[in-house]
Amino acid sequence: MKCRILIDNNTIIDRYFLGEPGLSFLIEAEGKRILFDTGYSNGFLENARKLGENLLDLDYIVFSHGHLDHTWGLDSLIKLYSEAKAESLNHKSPIIVGHPLVFETKLDEDLGEIGSMISKEKASQHFKIQLTKQPLWLTSNLVFLGEIERKNDFENKAPIGMISVAGAMSEDFMMDDSAQVGSIQDDYMLDDSALAYKTNKGLVIITGCSHSGICNIIEQAKKVCNEDRIVDVIGGLHLLNPGKAQLDGTLDYLKKIKATCLHPSHCTDLASKIALSTVAQIKEVGSGLLIEY
C-alpha cells in the first residue's frame, strides 16, 4: 500500500508543494487507486501534477466526512474529468464512497455553509455514488469503515455546527428523536469515517479529521478487520486544543493498544503531537510525502 499526501496543512521540507488547511491523500492498494478527500481548493491537483500522479485513473473517491476542507476540491476534480471528456482523453469512471450524510448541508453560526458545495444530485451527474453506513471493502485489504460506533466517554461529546437533513433521508439518521426530517439540528458528525488497511504486521488507519474520535475509529477498524495490532495512524486526529479528558483518554488508549507509530497531520496541534510522542513514535507529515506499507 502506498499513501501519497497530496495536500496537508504542512509541506515536506525543501520541496515546493502547496499546503492549505485541508487534506487529500492518494492511496494505491491491490491495483486500485483511491483519492481520499479533495482538500479545500485545487491545491491537491497542482501537487499531483508536480508529482506526476494521474488523477484520471481513479477507481474510488472516498470522503472521510462532509466538511469544506475535505470536499470543496471536488469542484476542481469535476472540471478535470469534464475537460478530459471534452478532449477525449483516457479516464476511468470512479465511484464516490462515503456516509449517507456526507453531502448534506452543514452550517456554522459564524461561517455559514461549511459542508460540501456540490450536492449528491450534482455529483451523480459526473461520478457513480455509493453511500453507506456499513463497512465497504474497496480492495481485499482496504476497507471504508462506515459509520463509527461511539463507544468511549471522552470523544465527540459536543456538536460541530448544524446539519440540515434532507427530506429524502431516513429517520434512522436523525440525531434528535423530536426533530422533523428536513429540519436543522446539531451536527454530531455521524458522517465522519475513515479507512483501514490490513498488513501482515497489523492495521494502518487512514483518517480525515477523526471527528468521531480516533480511539472510536481504531476500535471500529479492529472489529471490522478482526485485527488488534495497530501499525500506524495517518491523518487528522482532531486534537486542536483538546480538553484534558479527551487528551488524557486518547493517550491512555494509544498506550494501551501499543500503536507502533503515528503520522498525525491536518487538525492536530503541536502540543498534542508532543503529548502523543510520549506514547508512540511520531513522524512528520506534509504535502508530497510518500508513506509505504
Q: What percent of the chain is predicted at pLDDT more than 70?
A: 94
What CA–CA distances, in Å, run from 159 to 64, 97, 240, 270? 17, 24, 15, 24
Q: In whole angstroms, what is the distance from residue 98 CA to residue 114 CA?
A: 17
Find the mean pLDDT for residues 101-128: 95
Residues contacting residue 252 through CB under 8 Å, at least 6 positions apart: none
Q: Is residue 182 predicted with pLDDT exceeding 80? A: no
| E strand spans, the chain | 2-7, 24-29, 32-36, 60-62, 95-98, 105-108, 112-113, 128-131, 136-137, 142-144, 162-164, 184-186, 194-199, 202-207, 230-236, 261-265, 281-282, 290-292
Q: What is the pTM of this model?
A: 0.94
- Longest CA span, the chain: 55
Find the mean pLDDT for residues 143-154: 97
Quick one: angle between helices 43-51 and 74-86, nearest 10? 60
Domains, the chain, ordered by start: 2-148+159-292 (3.60.15.10)
Q: In whole angstroms, what is the distance from residue 11 CA to residue 8 CA?
A: 7
pLDDT tens digits for 229-283?
Answer: 999 999 999 999 999 999 999 999 999 999 989 999 999 999 999 999 999 999 9
Give the pLDDT confidence score for residue 180 in this predicted structure: 54
Closest listed residue to residue 60, CA positions, set 127, 106, 153, 146: 127
Give the pLDDT confidence score for residue 213 in this predicted structure: 97
Q: Which three cell numbers stand for residue 285?
A: 507529515
Output Rg (C-alpha) for the chain, integer angstroms. Answer: 18
pLDDT tens digits for 69-100?
Answer: 999 999 999 999 999 999 999 999 999 999 99
Q: Which three cell numbers stand for residue 165?
A: 437533513
